Amino acid sequence: MKKRMLGTLAVSEIGMGCMGISHAAGRAMETPDAVRLLRTAVDMGYTFFDTAKNYGFADDPHHNEKVLGEALAPVRGRVVIATKCGVSFDYAADREVPPLLYDSSRAGIRRAVEGSLRRLRTDRIDLYFQARIDPRVEPEEVADTMAELIREGKILHWGVSEVGPDYLRRAHAVCPMTAVENRYNMIDRGHEDLIPFLEAEGIGWVAHGPMFKGLLSAAFHKGAQFARDDWRSRLVNDENLDRYAPPLAFLQKLGQEKQAAPAQLALAWVLGRKPYIVPIPGMRSQARLAENAAAANIALTAAERAEIDRLVLAANP
């Protein structure tokens, strides 16, 4: 797989979003199955793996990092690992859909990084994200803490997930960021106002949710049912299936012409938007690993992109 640059950090042009292995996509994978999947991904050319300390479930809140640690430790020199701090889940309040607890204090980030290093079985984290903005902590304090961790060699690069322009500018001024991790796909483009600053400062964009929680795969139909703790239900529902029926129909038609799956076209759209955007779709099978990797070989014409834009704009007036 070809590489892209997140700032000065080289990663595979498509990364692996690992959350769904443990959280928010139905029952967590069994650890041996997840380890095999991750090692297969490395063999196929994926070098960028995105996780977080809170990707887990009530009985194993840090399941995801532990799985990645077991799977990737033998190939640590071949991979780039991104993980996150700043939030945890309050399973005491709700075991299935727990609310978030925020802690981006200096002490909180330092506790988090030590736990992640231990679970990931590594001596450094390649890219460390503040997972969500903590309303009680100023961006300058967060950035200063990250600068300390970089000096100590515990993290190599840092960024913020779900960040807006003002916070990004203030934090970056204290400790330059390598990347932001914001949702991005052909439907949800709410963070495009960051692009001028990202380009001016050489900051990369890790795009989570590149398939709009699976809706853009065109694999779901009205009446789809999900478990209460499956986050796909937030976007894959009858209302959105009706609302976005025209662009989905166009993706299916275009896919027949290009012999490509709609999900591949969704990834191709993101990849074609900017050369420093790296999508991180979730994958739980070898078939999805192969399908998504092949999306990098698909190019959309200007006319095809214009038609997608027209149909999406009509659905989002």
Q: What is the pLDDT of residue 226?
A: 85
For 244-295, the pLDDT digits (tens) are 999 999 999 999 999 999 999 999 999 999 999 999 999 999 999 999 999 9
Q: What is the pLDDT of residue 223?
A: 87
Percentage of residues in the chain having pLDDT higher than 70: 100
Is 128 noted as a catalytic residue in this protein? no
Contacts of 170 (CB under 8 A, 6+ apart): 138, 139, 140, 143
Q: How far is C-alpha 25 from the geometric centre of its chain's CA atoms? A: 14
CA dist 307 and 245 (Å) reads 14
> Mean pLDDT across the chain, nearest whole number?
96
For 190-247, the pLDDT digits (tens) are 999 999 999 999 999 999 999 999 999 988 888 888 888 887 888 889 999 999 999 9
Considering 46, 55, 244, 276, which one is annotated as catalytic?
A: 55
For 52-62, the pLDDT digits (tens) are 999 999 999 99
Taking residues 19-44, report their average pLDDT. Answer: 95
Q: What is the pLDDT of residue 285?
A: 96
Whether residue 159 contacts residue 172, with contact meaning beta carbons closer than 8 Å, is answered with no
